[in-house]
Amino acid sequence: MTRARSASKVGTAGGDAARLDHFLQTTSRTFALTIPLLREPTRSEVTVAYLLFRVADTLEDSTRWPRARKLAELEGLARFLEEPESGDAAAMARRWSEEPPVENAGYVELLSEFPVVLRAARALSPGAWRLIAAHTVRTCRAMASFVDREEGGVLRLGKVDDLKAYCYAVAGIVGELLTELFLIGHVGLRRIAPGMRRDASVFGEGLQLVNIIKDRRTDATEGRHYLPRGIHGATVFELARRDLQAAARYCVRLESAGADRGLIAFTALPVLLARATLDRLERLGAGAKLRRDEVAEIVGQLQAALDRGAVRGLLASV
């Protein structure tokens, strides 16, 4: 793996920073809302981490490529991150752009500008970049294990353990990565590191389960059946609620340890939004979403709780 430049150089390429912010806006409403809450260098580290995982997700979620192509591209990305000399980022971006795996314009644009993300990655501290690359490699190969199970372009999970393993592959590893980035950037959190690490993957699983419940009809039309047949919906809702309670504990630990406001907000806001979304999904069914004014209200409640040092109380209802 190539050695990164000093963390102090993060953000020196203003054009690249603007492009990364643009990619956040066009690929994730939630991360576009939460990542700017973080301080540097954690903000840049998490931005790069999210975008690399989004690239991997897009390769995995391809609706236009056959299974063999998806497997080859995921392994190619993993191998490139392990050994940059094994590939050419610009050539990879051209290949993905010339025959896009998905229709989503924001995702396709991100793939086409893969070298921009890599430039930002190599401006991070060596420790942060090593963590991001290693965890992205892990998720690429974990995703590939599920792509390999597709039959005729259709993935159908058979039991709850499969669902949990899938959530770990695409989101639990993200939780583990973010936790390690928080720990290298905030020395004062080391005393709560064991608890953070214990709940990190479950935090990611909970957020992913809410997305799976919300998007299950759209996913089904694209050949992805994550919710196992014969599993009562209440079982999945109960699992998601337990996971979100663990995520709330994670956030409360941060507040108790004196973490900075931005870090607490970054972790707490997705939990609050996920719980509100889960409540709506239980009432209205798949596809139900929060309105923008409802999101704004939750953001306002969180800001008020942060002002009072009372995020624990706000999360008590999760």
> Do the Cβ atoms of 213 and 284 come closer than 8 Å?
no
C-alpha 206/C-alpha 147 separation (Å) is 22
pLDDT at 12: 35
- Cα–Cα distance, 301 to 278 (Å, whole number): 18
186-200 burial string, b = 16+ CB within 10 Å, else e?
A: beebeebeebbeebb
Domains (range + CATH), the chain: 13-152 (1.10.600.10), 154-318 (1.10.600.10)
Q: Which two tokens stand for residue 174?
A: 């993200």
Average pLDDT over residues 175-202: 96
Residue whose tokens read 């294990």: 145
pLDDT of residue 14: 63
pLDDT of residue 230: 86
Q: Residue 244's closest CA among 142, 167, 159?
A: 167
Mean confidence (pLDDT) of the chain = 93
317 band by pLDDT with thresholds 50, 70 and 90: confident
Rounded Cα gap, residues 81 and 188, in angstroms: 30
Q: Does the structure show a pLDDT above 80 at 316?
A: yes
Report how far residue 196's alpha carbon sits from residue 200's, in angstroms, rounded to the nearest whole number.
6
Residue 6 has pLDDT above 50, yes or no: no
At residue 4, the pLDDT reads 34
- CA gap 122, 268 in Å, rounded: 29
Which residue, 128, 108, 87, 144, is CA-closest to 26? 108
- Which pLDDT score is estimated for 86? 84
pLDDT at 111: 98
- CA–CA distance, 270 with 275 (Å, rounded to integer): 8
Q: Take residue 148 and report the two structure tokens written for it.
A: 């390999």
H-helix or E-strand spanning residue 225:
strand 224-225
284-309 pLDDT, tens per residue? 998 899 999 999 999 999 999 999 99
pLDDT tens column, 222-258: 999 999 998 888 999 999 999 999 999 999 999 999 9
Coil, strand or helix at 151: strand
Q: Is residue 221 packed enough to be buried (19+ CB in 10 Å), middle (13-18) or exposed (0-12)?
A: exposed
> CB-based burial of residue 28 (10 Å sphere; 0-12 exposed, 13-18 middle, 19+ buried)?
middle
Q: What pLDDT is recorded for position 227?
A: 95
Distance, CA of 271 to CA of 31 (rounded, Å): 13
Distance in angstroms (rounded) separating the CA atoms of residues 229 and 43:
40
CA atoms within 13 Å, Cβ hemisphere of 23: 28
